[in-house]
Chains A and B, each alone.
Chain A
Amino acid sequence: MRFYCEITLLPNPEVNLNFLWSKVFQQIHLGLVEMQDDRKQVPIGISFPEYVTGEKNSALGGKCRLFAQDETTLDRFDAAKWLDRLSDYVHCTRIRPVPEKLAGYAIYQRQQPKTNKERLARRYAVRHKVSYDEALRHYGDMAPIRIPTPFIRLKSLSSEQTFCLWIKKTLVSESSGTCFSSYGLSATTAVPEF
C-alpha cells in the first residue's frame, strides 16, 4: 500500500461521532461497492489511526485512512465525491504517498460475534430439521456476551435492517496482499500504520 488519503470526522457539538460514523461509512461502502472487481474484491483498504484497544472497551476514534497500491486507484474512487454531502462534517485530505517510516502494519477485519440467539436458532432449525422452538431451547442457556470490539451501526440497503459492523484490529509485522471487502476490511491484507 503506497498511497493514502485521510478522512477526519470533525468534532461537532450538534452531531455525535457514532451517528457520523454511520453516515460516513455508509458512503464509503457505497463507493467501494462500485470499485468491486468480478470476484467482489476491492483494491482499497481502510485503517483507523486513532483506534485504541482497551481492556473493557475499544474505540474507533475520529479518523480513517483509505489505502491503495497506486494513486490512480484512489483518484478513481474519489473520496471527496462520495463525502460531498457530508462536507460540513468531515475533512478529506488529498492523496499522499505513505511515509517511509512506519510504525508497523495492522489488519482491520470484520468480526461477526454470535450475539443473537434467535438468529442462531433459525439457522439451527433449518440445518438440523427441528422446530424453531426446539432450536431455541438448544441455545437456551447461552449467556450474553459483551463484545469489546468497536462497531459502526449500518443499515443494509438491500434488507433495510440495521446491523453492527464490528471492526477488529490486529497488529502484524509484515505487509501482505492487496484485496479487501466492500467495507475496505480484510482478514488477511495488512495496511501500514503510522
Chain B
Amino acid sequence: MAIKNDATVLAFEKKLVPSDGYLYGTNWNERSTSNSMPLKLIEKSVRGTISNRLKPAVQNDPLKLNAEVEKPNLQKVDACALGEGQDTLRLSFTLKVLGGVDKPSASNGPNFNESYPKVAQAYIEQEGFNELAKRYASNIANGRYLWRNRVGAEKIEVIVNTGDDTPLTFDAKQFSLRNFDSSNPELQTLTNKIADALSGKLAYLLITVDAYALVGKAQEVYPSEELVLDKGKGDKSKILYHVNDVAAMHSQKIGNALRTIDTWYPDFDEAEIGPIAIEPYGAVTNLGKAFRTPKEKADFYTLFDRFALGEKLADKNQEHYVMAVLVRGGVFGQSGKD
C-alpha cells in the first residue's frame, strides 16, 4: 500500500498578502499631479414601501393588511459616490509577496515532512512560479479587484510600484478578464518580480497598486459591504466598509480577485464563466456552486494528498492549481480518525 498523507496538523501561511483597498476621488486629467480626496460614506434615509411577501394570515385580512402597509418602511443605508467635481475613482492598496511555500507553518506528519519539501522544491526549480506569477500579475494589470467599479468604466489605468525607480503603467482594458493571454514588457517585469518572490529568490517584495477608473462625474462607487450579523430594529440595512472615515474595500475581496486564476477546473469550457478564484473546492459563492468536487477527483485535497507524497499528477495544470492553493494558504490538516 502506498504511503499516506499522515499530517493531521497542517497549515500554510498565505504568500500573497493584500492590504485593505482605500477609495479616493480625483480627476482623470489631473490624476498624476493633483492630490486625490478620500471618499467618505454618505448615510441616506429612504422611505420604502412594504413589498416583501406577507404571511397568509395578514394577506387575507384587509384590516391587517392595511395596518401593515401603513407602517412606513424606513430604511437607513450607506452609499458612496465621487464628489461633484470628480470623475475618477482611485483605489489604492499594497500587496506583500512572500516565498517559502515549501515550508508549512505547522505540520506533524513524518512521512509528509519527508516528502513534501522535495516535491515543492522540484516544482519551484522546474516552473519557477512563472505561470502563477503571470496570472497574478495579469489580475493586477486588468484591475479585477475594482469589482463592480470596473463595470462600465470608460478608462482604467493601473500604476504599479515594485520598489524600483520606475513605476509600471498598465491600460487595464488591454488585459482581458476572461483569459491570461495578453502580455507586454511591463507585465513581464511584474511577472518576474512576483515569480522571484514566490520562489524565494527575492527575500521580500512589496507592491503598491493605484488603480484609476474613469467612471463619470459624481457617479456612485462601490466599497465593500459589511456583513451585518445581528440586525437590531432601526439599524441600517446596508453598511459599507470604511477605515478611519475612508471608504474601503476588504483585503479579502482584493485577495479573492488576485487569485481568480483557476481556468483548470473540469467544467471550464462548458461553464463559460471564465476564471474562478483559487479555492480548495472551487467554490463560487454567488453562483452557489463548487466547481471542483471530490467526486470528480478535482478538489484540492484529492490532488494534494497525491502530489505531496511525490506522485505524478495528470498534467502540469493540476500542479499549478495545487501550488496556487498553497500560495492562498489555509489549514489543510485531516482528522486523525478514519
> What residues of chain A have their CB less than 8 Å away from a CB belonging to chain B?
10-16, 19-20, 23, 26-27, 85-89, 115-118, 140-144, 146
Contacts and interface: CB of A to CB of B under 8 A. Distances in A.
A88 B49 contact: no
B274 A12 contact: yes
Interface in B268-306: 271-274, 276-277, 284, 286-287
B177 interface: yes
B152 A116 contact: no
Interface in B299-318: none
Contact of B173 (A87, A115, A144, A146): A87
B147 A143 contact: no
B148 A15 contact: yes
B9 interface: no
A144 B276 contact: no
A141 B151 contact: no
Given A19-B148, A19-B151, A23-B152, A88 B69 contact: no
Contacts of A86: 151-152
Contact of A89 (B151, B260, B271, B286): B151
28 contacts: A10-B178, A10-B272, A10-B273, A11-B271, A11-B273, A12-B274, A13-B287, A14-B144, A14-B148, A14-B177, A14-B257, A23-B151, A23-B152, A26-B152, A27-B152, A85-B153, A85-B154, A87-B173, A88-B150, A88-B177, A89-B151, A117-B49, A118-B47, A141-B62, A141-B66, A143-B65, A143-B69, A146-B51
Given A13-B276, A88-B178, A144 B151 contact: no
Contacts of B257: 14
B50 interface: yes
A13 B50 contact: no
A128 B228 CA distance: 45
Interface centre among B151, B273, B276 (most CB of A within 10 A): B151
B147 A144 contact: no
B152 A15 contact: no
A140 B148 contact: no
A165 B260 CA distance: 34
Contacts of A16: 286
B181 interface: no
Nearest to B143: A88
B94 interface: no
Contact of B176 (A88, A118, A144): A88
Interface in B38-74: 47, 49-51, 53, 62, 65-66, 69-70
B20 to A, nearest CB: 19
Nearest to A12: B273
B49 A140 contact: no
Contacts of A12: 177, 273-274
A146 B173 CA distance: 41
Interface in B149-187: 150-154, 173, 176-178
A88 B153 CA distance: 11
Given A13-B287, A14-B144, A20 B50 contact: no
Nearest to B70: A140
A13 B153 contact: no
Contacts of A141: 62, 66
Given A19-B148, A85-B152, A140-B70, 20 more contacts: A10-B272, A10-B274, A11-B271, A12-B177, A13-B287, A14-B148, A14-B260, A16-B286, A20-B151, A23-B152, A27-B152, A86-B151, A88-B150, A88-B173, A115-B49, A118-B47, A141-B66, A142-B69, A144-B49, A144-B69
A88 B182 CA distance: 14
